[in-house]
């Protein structure tokens, strides 16, 4: 089994914290980092960066584990930029 692990840092900015479901936003953030259907993705940590210009800012640290022998189908993800 050939396993590849990486950590991704994503900044999340929320305009109105009272009207935002943070867990749903975290799920969407995780899905935006998937490259293959068999990727194991977990939120490692959420860091509150405080407010900036009236918006709540968070740093989301995501762990991604890939079994390179069983990646599954590639996901057409507009958030992932592929190399040339």
Instruction: Give me the mean pLDDT over the 1-14 stretch.
Output: 92
Q: What is the pLDDT of residue 58?
A: 94
Give, in degrees to the nearest 5, the angle at Cα 34 between 42 and 16.
70
Q: What is the pTM of this model?
A: 0.81
The set of residues, in sequence order, having a beta carbon less than 8 Å from that of 22 and lying 6+ positions away, is: 14
Residue 67 has a pLDDT of 93
What is the per-residue pLDDT across 9-51, written as a single tens digit (0 to 9) for each? 999 998 887 778 888 889 988 888 899 999 999 999 999 999 9
Instruction: Please report the pLDDT score of residue 16 as a whole number.
Output: 82
Q: What is the pLDDT of residue 2?
A: 92
Dump strand ranges (E) for the chain.
3-14, 40-52, 55-67
For residue 79, pLDDT over 70 is answered with no
């Amino acid at each position: 089994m050939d396993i590849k692990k990486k950590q991704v840092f994503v900044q999340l900015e929320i305009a109105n914290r009272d009207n935002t479901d943070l867990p749903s936003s975290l799920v969407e953030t995780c899905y935006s980092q998937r490259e293959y259907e068999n990727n194991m993705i977990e939120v490692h940590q959420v860091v509150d960066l405080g407010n900036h210009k009236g918006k709540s800012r968070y740093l989301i640290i995501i762990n991604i584990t890939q079994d390179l022998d069983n990646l599954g189908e590639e996901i057409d993800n507009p958030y992932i930029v592929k190399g040339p």
